[in-house]
Structure 1
Amino acid sequence: MAVLMRVDELPVPEVLREFIARERGIRELYPPQEEAVVKGLFNGRNMVLSTTTATGKTLMAELAMVNTVLTRGAKAILTVPLRALAYEKASDLRVYEKMGIRIAVSTGEYDKEDAWLSDYDIVVTTYEKLDSLLRHRAGWLRNVGILVVDEVHYINDDKRGPIIESIIAKVKALGLPMQILALSATVGNAEEIARYLDAELVSSHWRPVPLKEGVYYDGVIYYADGATRAVKDLGNPVITLAIDTLLDGGQVLIFTNSRSNTVKLAQQMANYICNYGVKLIEPRELAALASEVLESSQSRILGEELARVIRCGVSFHHAGLDMGTRALVEGAFRDRVLRVVAATTTLAAGVNLPARRVIIHEYRRYEPGIGMVELPVMEYKQMAGRAGRPGLDPYGEAILVARHEDEVDYLMRNYINANVEAVTSKFFNERNLPTQLLSAIASGYAGTLDDVMRYVSSTLGYLQGGFQGNSVLSGILRRRIEDVVSSLVEMGFLERVGDNLRATELGNLVNNLYLDPYLASLYIRGLRSAEETTDLGYIHLVVQSRDVPRVRVRRGEFDDYVEELLNNWDQFLVKPPLTRDEIENGEYEDEELEDYLSTIKTAHMLLDWANEASEDELYKNYDVGPGDLRVYSDLMEWLVNAVYKLALALGMRKHAERLDILRWRLTYGVREELLELVINLEGVGRVRARALYNAGFRTVEDVANADPRVLSGIRGFGDRLARSVVEQARKLVSEGRVVKLSVKSEAKTGEARHGRGGSILDYL
């Protein structure tokens, strides 16, 4: 057996070696980690780590970042695809604060360069936020010594992929001397990605826990190596496989294709465990956990639904759960209090939550406008990679469920024995190229067509397209880029001055707001189409962005939303793809209106949110959970603010005044009279703000003049929070920093908490 490299042999400062051994209990490296060290990870070499889940990629990234800070006095950036993942990574990194390493996380506010980040050693961002910082050419970026791109296979994603390529192109254009470390468990063409990044490649299928992959059908598991195993058939494939694992002392993750299925499967599992006397759970611990969930859940209905299954050792997990509840579920599963979690596939991409057996309940999912589609092999491998807990499980199992006999061979051939798809660039796609070209020109990375060609030559799309050294293909690409530039000129975002290209004031604004130019053009046309509209009309305009998740219109609601469209035709600033006469005369197929009507329903949901509908009402009426509302809130903070600034820039004062108030209402989910309280006071959200207001404390000054003992008697306030809120209010009043918003947008001096406040002048 080969001798593994020890932590005390690492070429990093002794203080870091001792820290890892003491705080993490790690003494030896895994083989892929050792290979990374040998190939120059700590010598500044660019590197692609394409190794299976749980092989320590994240640890090596952490060591490389901290080493850069300690040995070079340089900064480090870790960029990830999801906001939730950014906060999770930042939380994990905070252990290094014991060494004096300063950790920051920044994920929103795309129109700012965040100069405050210069005070931190390691900055965790999303791809979008980092690209925004590079658009603003934040000065502190020149002090960055290492960039870690986590989940680099997202280059394959139509939306986020071009952003990763844009980040790399901007780093190269600026000549920033930073080491690039790319991480992924699932890259089918890792060699090509390494060539693109001029990087060493560490590619390995080694796992610390052996993985068995198989397909279950009719009481038998068919393994990839040809072996079979009979399992006691309990009439339900998922229950059969789960109970088999639980009886052997393992835990189970079930992946399925919809939220409703996660709940359904969790309920089926819970009923079996609790009703059939399977003694696999600790009732006392689970009762305590259920109580915690009920206490923390922002939706009573969702909390009760979850608590019922938790009492039986089971949970569901999806993006509709609020962050606090998700954290409770994940922590309880890691602590082995929960034995089974049924989750949507998003869990595989975003959370490190391994289990003895992973069950893939469905290998197809619904895509709006398309129907049922098969999951990519890449996603299957992400899910399968969660099988097996190092140090706890002797092996891990990933089992696909077949619905009929012929499907056994199909799943074995197309998933278990299939190669992961190659990551392919989406940079030059019709929808993405205009955004990327406007970004390059408006941000100062390109000023002529020749500059643009040099800029795009730093993308994976350029490498994969075979443009390098091919004059015919590069000529075709140049003509295509010229056409896109002409379109951006026609939209008013670029202008030509001789051979030079530059962004107009409007183009600079669109770039700084991080808007797709097509979307920005749609917003502008919408604002110009009417002098005024209702709040619903404004929200409907905003949700045209493809970033906003659509609330699906159920079949039984379809005619109601058609009727609403016709009755309120004039207030919608973006019209449907059919004429009013065609709709009134029924000259359409439902599919032609389905997506448009979903934007109306989504706008209604958001208006209800801004009118203080409870989380329970929103969940019941729209199937939108507290976790979803956080996503919508963040999106509205960005997008309504963007439309507001466009209105200001175009001199549309009436629109701007209405949008100024609406953006804050949609961010916080409150009526206008509560804005002063929620914007200024930390710890006062929509529910507590309404309680304060109803108790007569309607302004920050009212709170400042209050006796904390009186506030502590208001629902939602304890002694500690009451004292904190009064102290905050008194400080804000004494320093003249209270943010006030009125219907005429007369914001007073100062900044709101969380960086969300400020006057019109602050945003120009």
Structure 2
Amino acid sequence: MAVEEVVADFADAFPFERFNKMQSAALPALLNREDNVVVSAPTASGKTALAELAICKTLAAGGTALFLAPLRALTNEKESEWERFEEMGYSVYVVTGERDLSPRRAERADILVMTPEKADSATRKHDTPRYSFITDVDCCVIDEVHLLDSDRRGAVLEVTVSRLRRLCDPRVVALSATMPNIRDVADWLDAPDETTFAFGDEYRPVPLNADVKTYSHGENAFADKYRRLYRALDLAEPHIRDEGQSLVFVSSRQDTVQAAKKARDELTERDIPMGARGDYDFHTDAAELSNDTLRQSVLDGVGFHHAGLSREDKNRVERWFKEGKIQLLFSTSTLAWGVNLPARCVVIRDTKLHDPLEGEVDMSPLDVLQMLGRAGRPGYDDMGYAWVVCDRSDADKYRRLLRDGKEIESRLAAELDAHLNAEIALGTIGDVDDVMDWLETTFYYARAQSAPEEYDAGSDLRERVSATLSELVADGFVEQDGLRIEPTRLGHLASKFYLRLETARRFADLAERCEAETGAEAGTGDGSAAIDADDLLRTVAGATEFDSVSARSDEQDAVNAVLGSEEDELDAGQRKVLAILRSGMTGTTPTELKSDAWVIRQNALRLLAALREFLDNLAPARFANLACRVEARVEHGISADAVGLTAIDGVGSGRANKLAAKGLRSPADVLKTGVSGLESAGLSEGVAEQVVANARDLPVVVVDWGEFPETIAPGDRELCEVTVANNGGGARAGLRVTVNGREMTAKPSYLGQTTLPVAVFGADADELTFTVEVTFPNRPLPPVTQSRTVRIR
């Protein structure tokens, strides 16, 4: 069907002139009806055009469309692709965690592009002015809805779509690769038979020949990688010799680089003619690549692609592969979900991968099918060839996957307590009846109806949810009064930070210990140690989110070198997390731990931010301040005495270390030394001026002791007033007065000027040391303390 005839007003939105057979079959359901639509079709059959048709119908009616993309990288691609809509006068706005949100732009957007995680966050905060735009969505397009079956992300997608339907009931258009149980998804979304389409392999633009090849497994994992690489090259070689292209998927970014290096040598030895070293223009273009290894590799017709490359390098690799200048491309699985980059031959070299949080895991069946679906170039190939290279013991498993496909399952059951708590915290569930109403909006419920024996559910599903609710009440996340239910402060905090509930309980327990601590830093007076930075790190390292972290044998010596070899309550994987965090605070992470350190540190920073807020809500302010300083040290790798510098806007680890090396330790030091002093420390004049200006925005504490006595007689009592003032930027603070290390008074304050009553009394001691402490719970500034000593005469 001709695009011009079907959507004349939006013809410019499509990069082709005619819809293909699959698109034409689904067209009437998308354009002539208002029902929800579910479409499963082979990879590369043109599902994106269906998303665009649904968007066009929404725009024509003056509505707002939301496109849920499975990966953050794809949201950026859609922004680029959909400049076509911008040129037609419509606004496209991408909302991701890596960009500052402009509520005004989001509210005015005609097309919103988000990941499920960001949409989850937005729907949780829909009643705030910042995220109110999410309730204006008229049509929600779910790209790759089979991600419902993803262990890590499926439940988020499921509850987000269910919540969005409860909030504003948009039309839902769900697109998927081929899945056997499409009817379950249609039942979940209330899509009738007339708008549910299961397009089979006959709709593939290029037929697919997919099979499994095994290799001889050895004792050495490193050598096994090369055995699989040679197997992959054996499979790719005939296609490369025939001027076809091959795409080989490996498990990690580093593996794409190493495999490309080794493949170049092997292809040269096999005397396979490829590469474009005689192409002067290509040679000139390749010189612009920022990655040195890639620059050398592409000239031999071999490339690699992963999320760590610059966007410009990735774009060039994709373009050169499409143009045939790169004949062999090594990539991670990200490419399979994103760019439409087919090849005549696709080989999955690695079916297992190392996950820093999970250890060695099997590649998701969804990823495997998605990667294999990239085989076959429409318009160029008569057949696509796809291979899984695996150990003999796994061969039958992958053959079944290729033969039968993968039914889509709900992953909500494993996280039912956390998601139910989130709905209660949001207020979308207010009584017991609402719990069951919510349950019936989930894919979990729909799937359990069609396969009750697999879900151990059926008629018992309600009992299971009721038991989960009872556990939430018993654990302090929810309060129940008859049929009425409402969240506790703990429940709100767990929901706000997306915590597993065992972790939230662990954080609350630490806050209770902090609340109970009444002594000075040296101890509580009952023989137990005061809570310090290591307690916070241990609390985070022991979080449920890190339960699956494993420590390889070569890492354990490095862990012991950081922590010592004494026994403690943490298991080996959690000790590895603790070692990464503790060494990361000083920027001295051992080489053996660096491969996993970045991922573990990023997850730990999220948990430390959550712990800081738990302590801010449930414990005295000084503990939230301690968490804030620990968080900044883990993030920046800076010493304890210089961490306060990172409170200054624009001062990260590099500048903080540079200033600390010159003896500057705090924002007050920065203000005292001024612009000239910062220039002497190595900052440029412009940067120095900005750092000083930003330092002025931070609080400057001044303590006025007034008429405070120097001596007092035994038995006498004198009530004094101590004034704490702030001569800098406003800030929330915790004020505390101690005498000889025992707390007399403590209170929170938005620090402008505050008067603290202090009772001076003649005691049995020879002298009394009164200390005023000011801490900032949400800034990494060290506590400000001043003391006065009163002698007993």
Residues 419, 66 of structure 1: alpha-carbon distance in 2 compared, 3 angstrom cutoff? same
Distance in 2, Cα, partners of 1:315 & 1:168:
38
- 2:649 alignment partner in structure 1: 680
Corresponding residue for residue 553 of structure 1: 551
Matched, 1:201 2:196: yes
1:253-332 mapped onto 2 (5 Å cutoff): 253-257=247-251, 262-274=256-268, 278-283=272-277, 295=290, 309-310=297-298, 312-318=300-306, 329-330=317-318, 332=320
Moved more, 192-201 or 249-258: 249-258
1:447 to 416, 420, 430: 430
1:712-763 CA distances to partner (integer Å, 9 max, x unpaired)? Answer: x989x9xxxx97x689x39x949x9957899x9x994699xxxxxxx86799
Deviation at 1:661, TM superposition (A): 2.9
Determine helix, strand or coil for the equivalent of 2:386. Answer: strand
Q: Is the 8 A contact 1:75 1:122 kept in 2?
A: yes
For the pair 1:249 / 2:243, whether they are aligned, the reply is yes
Q: Please name the residue that 1:131 is paired with.
A: 120
Residue 383 of structure 1 corresponds to 371
Aligned residue runs from structure 1 range 413-424, under 5 A: 413-416=399-402, 418-424=403-409
**What SS does the corresponding residue of 2:595 show, helix, strand or coil?**
coil
| CA deviation after TM superposition for structure 1 residue 453, in Å | 0.6
Residue 605 (structure 1) aligns with: 580
1:191 aligns with 2:191: no
Output one character per residue of 1:254-290: Cα deviation in whole Å (capped at 9) or x when no partner: 1234566545532321112345654411236787677
Q: Which moved more, 1:670-679 or 1:650-659?
A: 670-679
Is residue 2:157 matched to residue 1:164? yes
SS of equivalent residue, structure 1 residue 74: coil
Pair 1:234–1:607, CA change in 2 (3 A): closer
Superposition RMSD on alpha carbons, in Å? 4.7
Distance 1:366 1:112 in 2: 33
- Structure-2 residue corresponding to 1:436: 419
Q: 1:622 aligns with which of 593, 607, 621?
A: 593
**Letter of the structure 1 residue corresponding to residue 580 of structure 2:** M
Shift of 1:502: 0.4
Note the C-alpha offset of 1:367: 7.9
Correspondence for 2:91: 102
Partner of 1:64: 54
Residues 291 and 655 of structure 1, relative CA distance in 2, 3 Å threshold: farther
Aligned to 2:736: none
Find the residue that maps to 2:209 and give its secondary structure.
strand
Partner amino acid for 2:122?
A: L
Which of 215, 226, 231 is the matching residue for 1:237? 231
Deviates more, 1:497-506 or 1:318-327: 318-327
What is the TM-score when the length of structure 1 is the normalising length? 0.74
Displacement of 1:479 after TM fit?
2.9
For structure 2, the residue ranges without an aligned partner over 5 or more in a row are 216-226, 518-529, 702-723, 733-775, 781-793
- Identify the residue that residue 643 of structure 1 maps to in structure 2: 611
Q: 1:245 to 1:411 in 2, by over 3 A?
A: farther
* Separation in structure 2 between the aligned mates of residue 652 and residue 154 of structure 1, nearest angstrom: 43
What residue is the counterpart of 2:708 in the other structure?
none
Aligned-partner Cα distance in 2 for 1:647–1:112: 27
Return the alpha-carbon distance in structure 1 between the equivalents of residues 495 and 593 of structure 2: 33
* CA apart distance, 1:345: 3.6
Runs of at least 5 residues in structure 1 that lack an aligned partner in the other structure:
219-232, 297-302, 577-595, 752-758
What pairs up with 1:522-541 in 2 under 5 angstroms?
522-528=506-512, 535=533, 537-541=535-539
In structure 2, C-alpha distance between the alignment counterparts of 1:61 and 1:87, rounded to whole Å: 16
For the structure 1 residues 668 and 386, does the alpha-carbon distance in structure 2 shift closer, same or farther, using more than 3 Å as the test? farther
Helix, strand or coil at the partner of 1:466: helix
- The CA distance in 2 between the partners of 1:761 and 1:649, in whole Å, is 11
Distance in 1 between the 2:118 and 2:152 partners? 14
**What is the CA-CA distance between 1:645 and the residue it aligns to?**
0.5
- d(CA) in 1 for partners of 2:672 and 2:321? 45
Structure 1 CA distance, aligned partners of 2:331 and 2:36? 35
The 3 A distance-change label for structure 1 pair 563 and 19 is closer
State the partner residue of 2:24: 34
Larger of the two Rg values belongs to structure? 2
Give the superposition deviation at 1:486: 2.2
Q: Deviations over 1:186-212 (max 9, x none)?
A: 422112211221122222131223323
Out of 652-661 and 84-93, give the one that drifted further.
Answer: 84-93
- Deviations along 1:614-634, one digit per CA (max 9) or x if unpaired, are xxx77x433538xx83x5565
Aligned twin of 1:354: 342
Q: Which amino acid aligns with 2:209?
A: K
Indicate conservation of the 8 Å contact 2:86/2:92, yes or no.
Answer: yes
Per the alignment, residue 140 of structure 1 pairs with 133
Between the two proteins, the alignment pairs up a number of residues equal to 671
Report what 2:444 is aligned to: 461
**Kindly tell me: are residues 468 and 357 of structure 1, through their superposed partners in 2, closer, same or farther at Cα, counting changes over 3 Å?**
closer
Report the residue type matching 1:604 in the other structure.
Answer: A
Q: Which secondary structure does the structure 1 equivalent of 2:628 belong to?
A: helix
Q: Which residue of 1 aligns with 2:4?
A: 8
- Given candidates 483, 487, 503, the residue that maps to 1:503 is 487
Aligned-residue offset at 1:541: 3.0
Q: Where does residue 227 of structure 1 map in the other structure?
A: none
User: CA 1:110–1:506 in 2, change beyond 3 Å: closer, same or farther?
Assistant: farther
The question of whether the paired residues in 1 share the 8 Å contact of 2:117 and 2:156 is answered with yes
Verify the 8 A CA contact 2:148 2:411 in the aligned structure 1: yes
Identity %: 28
Q: 1:513 to 1:705 in 2, by over 3 A?
A: same
**Is the Cα contact below 8 Å between 2:622 and 2:777 reproduced in 1?**
no
Shift of 1:435: 0.9
Q: Which secondary structure state, in structure 1, belongs to the residue aligned with residue 376 of structure 2?
A: coil
Which residue of structure 2 aligns with residue 755 of structure 1?
A: none
Report how far residue 308 of structure 1 moved: 5.8
Alignment CA distance shift 1:394-1:621 (3 Å): same
36, 51, 63: which is aligned to 1:46? Answer: 36
Q: 1:513 aligns with which of 497, 504, 516?
A: 497
Deviates more, 1:93-102 or 1:145-154: 93-102
Aligned partner of 1:229 in structure 2 is none
User: Match of 2:619, as an amino acid?
Assistant: G
Answer 1 or 2: which has greater strand percent.
2
Change (3 A) 1:693 1:87: farther
Change (3 A) 1:136 1:399: same
- In structure 2, the partner of 1:657 is 625
Change (3 A) 1:545 1:310: farther
Distance 1:540 1:75, change over 3 A: farther
Change beyond 3 A, Cα 1:694–1:80:
farther
- The one-letter code of the counterpart of 1:268 is K
Displacement of 1:679 after TM fit? Answer: 7.0
Amino acid in the other structure paired with 1:36: A
